[in-house]
Structure 1
Amino acid sequence: MTAQIPTQQSVSASEMLEKIRQQFDNAPYPRVPIEKSPKDDANLLYFHNLTTSYYLRNQQVIDLKGKVILDAGCGTGYKTLILALANPEARIVGIDFSEESVRLAEKRLQFHGVDNVEFHVLLLEDLPKLGINFDYINCDDVLYLLEDATTGLQAMKSVLTPEGIIRANLHSSLQRANFFRAQKLFKFMGLMDNNPEEMELGIVRDIMKALKDGVLIKTQTWNPRSETENEAILANHMLVGDKGFTIPEFFAILRGAGLEFISMVNWMQWDVMELFKEPDNLPAYVAMCLPDLSDQEKLHLFELIHPNQRLLDLWCGHPEQGHSFTPIVEWTDSDWQNSKAYLHPQLKTPKFREDLTACVTELRAFPISQHLPLIRASSKY
């Protein structure tokens, strides 16, 4: 164990970037088997289809033909594959600064016969060099590794079309507090001075195995995956450059980048009303205060009460580019009579048609949740 080790602040930005690059070259992420396909995962396809975020912002259906989508920090290409399958009429571009990750991403897309995708080994801040403007940018599990998340968002904003949308996320400092403590422990022990490899991973396992079961660092961060999978340790206990944020800090970053909040990606899981036993019978003080809270304040209230989300995952875009519309609760009879219903692209399946037709024919309620549960599938360690 070293007496003194360099703190993250004492390491230069270029040195830290190189350490992160080495980690992902040595252990490309995510370690999803190349043959695995998300084609039957309705939730994943729903959230990665541009139709979803565009409709949330504008209450209009978008034509995906000719749209250009970026997977910023594509890693080994599993999310790129999801984007390609969810948006088959769009052109998909993937970038990553890890050459080994890009090699695996190209191999993955070739295996699945997807040909509307191209990849580039590129830093996020070098995006303008591509000379491409994007209608949608997916930046998943990337920003919290950057020295400055604002700079990363500004780079994406510079290549975003006026009505374009960015999906971005940061690690939650509240939900991830135990893992950040574990990272400090292994930094203190000198196990993260260099890029963690098999020897360091083995030492971590030995330490955790030797601790009593009731010791907090073990009960709060260790699980069966960590016993056998290097990825589980590298993504949590020894993730180089990892940082956590709160909702107010994320909103400050958005303002610094000149971007406007649209919605949380898994918005159904951020409803503060769902945290109370009787939403219609709230404590008087809460009932009085809630209506006056901004979106940011409601989300922050939720994370303070129930920080159960690994990622603060949201959609954002250029300010004041959303279309104006009348909320459904304010619709008149005329609005309802002249409305037109659209089926989300991910629901245009033979099984959906069969079940819907049967319910209409038999005058039964249609259980749409059987086809789209609307619970986002997300890695959570």
Structure 2
Amino acid sequence: MTNPTSNISEAVARLYDTYPFPPEPLLDEPPPGYNWRWNWPAAYHFATGQKPRQSQVRILDAGCGTGVSTEYLVHLNPEAEVVGIDLSSEAIAVAKERCRRTGADRAQLHHLSLYDTPKLEGEFDYINCVGVLHHLPDPQRGLHAIASKLAPGGLMHVFVYAELGRWEVRLMQQALALLQGDNRNDFQSGVKLGRQIFDSLPENNRIVKREKQRWSLENQRDANFADMYLNPQEIDYNIETLFELIDASQLQFLGFSNSDYWQLDRLLGNAPDALEKAKQLDERQQYRLIELLDPEVSHYEFFLGRPPIPQNDWSSPAALEQAIPERSPCMFGWCSRDIMDYNYMPVTLSEAEFEFMQACDGQRTVGEILPNCALDSDGVRSLARRQLILLGPSS
């Protein structure tokens, strides 16, 4: 008897063997810039409010594809041991070449399914799982498998698709599957067919308009087009089904990484009665309300943790005074008052903020720095909330 789950996994593997993903070019130098979610100290501070106590950690890139994320994880975490796994042998081959070219020689890369993650030795302090779970025939099983390797106090960064912002994508996926029939795993023919359809549809067609508005730039590459419209397996989530997945993992939800999107005031700030009613909802209901009122969200990106997870907002004056501040490793333009923050958004520091950040040497405490600059305690907390500095206990 054939195993439907195995057949689906094999079909997904064939897609990525045909079009290794992501199709980013190979470089002969370290990757440019940063993704703060792949920097252990920055991600840990965002999720917990404080710096991690150690930098010599083990990181798993679960579903590493062609190694774009793996390469960043190595270069952004110079003291970490990094392991990458992926279902596609062709993607792993590209990942190995990518890491070889840029000297990311601490990356250990394995051709391995997420379901087989428990076969890896030891536990991991940080697990990165981007764009993978929604392509599994059993995402709960996949998440449970990688969660089993997360160390106590460890974090997981997860990215899965959202149904509301990908509605038109789903329509085209179903149309192509219908037209291809038994040949739907002929991905090269599927790309050709899909492009012909887009060229034929009227300009005011809803699917065409969404493609041009949101996806066309990246979908110029066949690998991106195939990944979006021809994947043999995809599950899109909404807030309710997302938290069913999270709850089944038995890990602690630590928040969305794009926290600005999930603010009620952004949508209801000019409707005080509605805002007051919304704030009476529980947290998950508020999230659901936000995505219903602004259905542009195409994915969920969030952090999970295995307790015990410390949480610190530095509201205690005594704790703040004893904290040691460091400038964030994820910003551009320092040393200047005009910088780009961890999300590549422009920030102009006040004179007092700039003076304080200049004094952040990783050695002195907040209490030792403040008497010599014009910034107050609330200003320090603001810098920490905006991830411009990372705070950690002095002992």
Give the TM-score category using the shorter length: 0.7 to 0.9
TM-score, with normalisation over the residues of structure 1? 0.82
By how many angstroms is 1:298 displaced? 2.2
Aligned equivalent of 2:186, options 170, 180, 196: 196
Q: Secondary structure at the match of 2:334?
A: helix
By how many angstroms is 1:48 displaced? 1.2
Aligned equivalent of 1:352, options 334, 340, 345: 334
Structure 1 equivalent of residue 309 of structure 2: 322
CA 1:56 to 1:211, structure 2 compared with 1: closer, same or farther past 3 Å? closer
Q: Which amino acid aligns with 1:131?
A: E
Q: Secondary structure at the match of 2:164?
A: coil
1:296 aligns to 2:284 (yes or no): yes
Q: Secondary structure at the match of 1:244?
A: coil
Structure 1 equivalent of residue 327 of structure 2: 343
By how many angstroms is 1:150 displaced? 1.1
- Contact 1:68-1:134 within 8 A present in 2 as well: yes
By how many angstroms is 1:263 displaced? 1.1
- Contact 1:169-1:312 within 8 A present in 2 as well: yes
Alignment of 1:130-141 (within 5 A): 130-141=120-131
CA 1:324 to 1:234, structure 2 compared with 1: closer, same or farther past 3 Å? closer
Aligned equivalent of 2:18, options 26, 30, 42: 26
Structure 2 equivalent of residue 331 of structure 1: 316
By how many angstroms is 1:192 displaced? 6.9
CA 1:366 to 1:193, structure 2 compared with 1: closer, same or farther past 3 Å? farther
- Contact 1:71-1:92 within 8 A present in 2 as well: yes
Structure 2 equivalent of residue 268 of structure 1: 260
- Contact 2:265-2:275 within 8 A present in 1 as well: no
Q: Which amino acid aligns with 2:237?
A: F
Q: Which amino acid aligns with 2:308?
A: Q
Structure 2 equivalent of residue 359 of structure 1: none
Q: Which amino acid aligns with 1:167?
A: H
Aligned equivalent of 1:72, options 62, 78, 84: 62
Q: Distance in 2 between matches of 1:17 and 1:274?
A: 40
C-alpha offsets along residues 348-375 of structure 1, whole Å, 9 cap, x if unaligned? Answer: x8x524659xxxxx9465499xxxx98x
Structure 2 equivalent of residue 306 of structure 1: 294
Alignment of 1:73-112 (within 5 A): 73-112=63-102
RMSD: 2.9
- Contact 1:135-1:161 within 8 A present in 2 as well: yes
1:286 aligns to 2:275 (yes or no): yes
Q: Secondary structure at the match of 1:199?
A: helix
Structure 2 equivalent of residue 378 of structure 1: none
Q: Distance in 2 between matches of 1:64 and 1:226?
A: 37
Aligned equivalent of 1:53, options 43, 51, 57: 43
Q: Distance in 2 between matches of 1:297 and 1:95?
A: 35
Q: Distance in 2 between matches of 1:62 and 1:157?
A: 20
- Contact 2:190-2:230 within 8 A present in 1 as well: no
By how many angstroms is 1:191 displaced? 5.4
- Contact 1:19-1:194 within 8 A present in 2 as well: no
By how many angstroms is 1:141 displaced? 0.2
CA 1:116 to 1:275, structure 2 compared with 1: closer, same or farther past 3 Å? same
Q: Which amino acid aligns with 1:287?
A: E
CA 1:32 to 1:227, structure 2 compared with 1: closer, same or farther past 3 Å? closer
Structure 2 equivalent of residue 379 of structure 1: none
Structure 1 equivalent of residue 222 of structure 2: 230
By how many angstroms is 1:39 displaced? 4.5
Structure 2 equivalent of residue 377 of structure 1: none
Q: Distance in 2 between matches of 1:168 and 1:47?
A: 10
CA 1:80 to 1:288, structure 2 compared with 1: closer, same or farther past 3 Å? same
- Contact 1:179-1:237 within 8 A present in 2 as well: yes
Q: Distance in 2 between matches of 1:53 and 1:199?
A: 41
Q: Secondary structure at the match of 1:314?
A: strand
CA 1:72 to 1:80, structure 2 compared with 1: closer, same or farther past 3 Å? same
By how many angstroms is 1:294 displaced? 3.1
Aligned equivalent of 2:200, options 210, 219, 225: 210
TM-score, with normalisation over the residues of structure 2? 0.79
Q: Which amino acid aligns with 1:247?
A: I
Unaligned runs of 5+ in 1: 1-9, 357-361, 375-381
Aligned equivalent of 1:150, options 140, 146, 155: 140
By how many angstroms is 1:85 displaced? 1.5
CA 1:227 to 1:162, structure 2 compared with 1: closer, same or farther past 3 Å? closer
Q: Distance in 2 between matches of 1:269 and 1:11?
A: 40
Q: Secondary structure at the match of 2:115?
A: helix
- Contact 1:64-1:90 within 8 A present in 2 as well: no
Q: Which amino acid aligns with 2:272?
A: P
Q: Distance in 1 between matches of 2:217 and 2:322?
A: 53
By how many angstroms is 1:103 displaced? 0.5
By how many angstroms is 1:262 displaced? 0.4
C-alpha offsets along residues 311-347 of structure 1, whole Å, 9 cap, x if unaligned? Answer: 11111022x412254x34x434x44444432222335
1:120 aligns to 2:110 (yes or no): yes
Structure 1 equivalent of residue 345 of structure 2: none
Q: Secondary structure at the match of 2:60?
A: strand
Q: Secondary structure at the match of 1:170?
A: strand
C-alpha offsets along residues 15-36 of structure 1, whole Å, 9 cap, x if unaligned? Answer: 1111100000010000100118
Aligned equivalent of 1:240, options 232, 236, 242: 232
Name whichever of 20-29 and 120-129 sits farther off: 120-129
C-alpha offsets along residues 243-299 of structure 1, whole Å, 9 cap, x if unaligned? Answer: 2110111111111121110011222332232224xx3x5331322431x33332222
Name whichever of 234-243 and 86-95 sits farther off: 234-243
